[in-house]
Structure 1
């Protein structure tokens, strides 16, 4: 039985305005479906409130066909349109659909850009930060250990739970939009201690020490454990921010991993026993040379032609160190004619990269540094693309299916070399 506090009852009863009433109605239905007994308070919400392509707004043309109508009737599942209040707390907008400056290069029309620009102004007017990234923790929103959050975006969720030790389920735009207004989310799943304990032990027998290796390990684990929690131990090293964002993104793509433990690395797994908390280990999984090679082959199964006409980096959005690496590999060189290079990052990180000169070096070589989106989210690739090269297991998983192209997976250096030569020469060492 769901129990409400007096404040929650006031919101549900309409005493705190129509928006809070409708948001609580949605969240109560959500909590009952989950079997949650109460709500937790959250002041850290990351979603995509109110933003929509014009075709979705057209579905609500009788209600104004605008941002307000989408927020009320689509996000909050309300039967009427009302004013949306200015948000309090830490509310942010995750990735959007297009780069605010390079939208033409991405193939968008002026009308589509005008619609996106209008949505962004409406979002800002509600005191929602337009971070426009899948890595909010790299753009000024890094929750504290134990903090209850309500986040969308699979790669951000798994990083939030595992690396930062904050607490969130993988939410949708409906629950996050409602949580921005009410500061409530059901007390279920990863908000609860008992749900955060490990299920499977993964023993790593081969060295995993860079984003290429971490991405493959994540992809292998995700396929096996699906939505359960792996505890990883063994020959792992250099588990830095970049490596862990690629690992988590891969595990959340091949499976549905929302949390993992790395023994001696992540905050809730100082030792193996702590990660399991007394639970029985469901299975022991080995990752050795054979598993590594099979994973590499699986990721490259969609690659046939070695003629590469598109290289995409920055999934999840590139950190400043990754842009420095790309600039170093491209410095003084030129891309192959007929091969495009798009690197995706957040606005926040791009500003840093511009100040350090990395963006200019990449642009001089013929590449573009884009923000706010990625090729899979935007379903945007250079015109005529048939074969892509990627250093992200997540993007390799999604992009060929979304866009009907071939794809190669390899190291960042493999991908930059393909951009310079127009040929895929990556191989597993």
Structure 2
């Protein structure tokens, strides 16, 4: 490692115990990656110090509290010390429960007390409690070329691809250390060479709705895995929400951390620019047959048409998605045997509240929740067997996590299922 004088000071303990331990962890991390230096980052998004009571119990001898978890678990330290207030743009991503609807989610008083305690500790360290997987919708949108240290696969792929900022998929250890040191290894997608495309994808069917963008992302991720696709073709309405669903799907079926869409994403004005002089490893075609197979693949876990649970908002819903759900529910009621939960960020929910969308959803028998989702917290209504989803990412994960059947379709398909209790979605 080639350390700057400031980094040497941190590692030697001259900047305090927290900086020493954080830098020690990052040096070990960088050595494992083969990185020779650090980049500075003042935009860090993780889950610093937050934990359930079980993890706190593991460090009972060290105090069994937030500070013990941050020092011993996050920073891999052999001792516990006072934590400094964080500077820069340090953000807390997803939480474990809705701060108001936690009872409806099935959490106990003890777990809620732990949640409240952790949040107070996060706030005391000047870390922003965004509590979302979509920080770019909740007030943290980094600049083009800015080095970040972000967790959450769907946020990472959006950060790299749509915003042109730079981050690898980090963990809680590296992000907690980066909040203290403002350093992250100069490796992977922080470098120009590693942001060039690998595979050429030709899209030969219209991809316009959120539903279609999610399917295309799922198809591409499964094929390219952790490499970078360069996509050309009939892509329409390339807005925030569609990119959000595309990237989340590609990061779930594969491990995509970055993609280029020619003429759409900022580092791909042309295909030649996106590949940066590299020859494509393969040319992949997405047409009617590939579209149908992707739909069938996503719905392979669906058998019974009786829907117990409809879950929307993965990644966390944007305001226009909540507006669409409210519009679809006007004058209708959720079926007595079906639950509807929709997830978003606190930031967006305040806007939904102000516009009356939350009241409409609740009036129909649904709930608009924040902070978490069914996959993150592994929470679903009791006795749920069949789920309807408009997220390819959630369709990928929830059956494995919760042992349920799942149907993937449009938001309209899902709302119709919530009202009728039956899945009637089909590929048109």
Shift of 1:209: 0.4
Per the alignment, in what secondary structure is the counterpart of residue 205 of structure 1? strand
Aligned twin of 1:325: 324
Query: The residue matched to 2:50 in structure 1 has which SS?
Result: coil
Name 2:234's counterpart in structure 1: 235
1:402 — aligned with what?
401
Match of 1:60 in 2: 59
2:381 pairs with 1:368: no
Structure 2 CA distance for aligned equivalents of residues 124 and 32 of structure 1: 32
Q: Is 1:75 the equivalent of 2:80? A: no
Give distance in 2, aligned partners of 1:425 and 1:408. 10
Please give the residue correspondences for 1:192-211 in structure 2 after superposition, counting only pairs within 5 Å: 192-211=191-210
Residue 267 (structure 1) aligned with residue 271 (structure 2): no
Give 1:257 shift: 0.0
Q: Tell me the SS of whatever aligns to 2:203.
A: strand
User: How high is the TM-score relative to the length of structure 1?
Assistant: 1.00
Q: In the alignment, which residue of structure 2 is the partner of 1:340?
A: 339
Shift of 1:338: 1.0
Aligned match of 2:279 = 280
- Equivalences for residues 83-98 of structure 1 within 5 A: 83-98=82-97
Which structure 1 residue ranges, 4+ long, deviate > 2 Å from structure 2? none
Give, in whole Å, the separation in 2 of the partners of 1:277 and 1:238: 26
Q: CA deviation at 1:309?
A: 0.8
Q: Partners in 2 of 1:150 and 1:286 — Cα distance?
A: 33
1:133 is aligned to 132
Instruction: Name the structure 1 match of 2:314.
Output: 315
Establish whether residue 111 from structure 1 lines up as the match of residue 114 from structure 2: no
The equivalent of 1:302 in structure 2 is 301
Deviations 1:31-87 (A, max 9, x none): 001110100000000000000000000000000000000000000000000001000
Which residues of 2 match residues 384-395 of structure 1 at below 5 A?
Answer: 384-395=383-394
Distance in 2 between the 1:363 and 1:332 partners? 12
Query: Is it true that 1:166 corresponds to 2:160 in the alignment?
Result: no
Partner of residue 417, structure 2: 418
Q: Distance in 2 between matches of 1:419 and 1:397?
A: 20
User: How much does 1:325 deviate?
Assistant: 0.1
Residues 174-185 of structure 1 mapped to structure 2, 5 A cutoff: 174-185=173-184
Gaps of 5+ in 1: none
**Which whole-Å CA distance do the structure 2 matches of 1:215 and 1:320 have between them?**
18
Give how far 1:332 is off: 1.3
TM-score (norm 2): 1.00
Structure 1 distance, partners of 2:403, 2:262, is 39
In 2: Cα distance, 1:427 partner to 1:31 partner: 48
Identify the residue that residue 3 of structure 1 maps to in structure 2: 2
> Helix, strand or coil for the counterpart of 1:232?
strand
C-alpha distance in structure 2 between counterparts of 1:257 and 1:204, whole Å: 18
1:362-398 residue CA offsets vs partner (Å, 9 max, x unmatched): 0000000000000000100001100000000000000
Gaps of 5+ in 2: none
CA distance in 1: counterparts of 2:116 and 2:377, whole angstroms: 15
Q: Which residue of 1 aligns with 2:25?
A: 26
1:21 CA displacement: 0.1
* 1:250 CA drift (Å): 0.1
What is the aligned residue count? 428
Q: Counterparts of 1:194 and 1:328 in 2: how far apart (Å)?
A: 46
| Corresponding residue SS for 1:342 | strand
SS at match of 1:258: coil
Structure 1 vs Structure 2 CA RMSD: 0.3
1:322-376 Cα deviation digits (max 9, x unpaired): 0000000001110111100000000000000000000000000000000000000
Q: Measure the CA separation in 2 of the matches of 1:331 and 1:25.
A: 56
Deviation at 1:180, TM superposition (A): 0.1
Residue 145 of structure 1 pairs with residue 144 of structure 2: yes
For 1:284 and 1:113, the matched residues in 2 are separated by 51
Aligned partners of 1:419 and 1:181: how far apart in 2?
Answer: 46
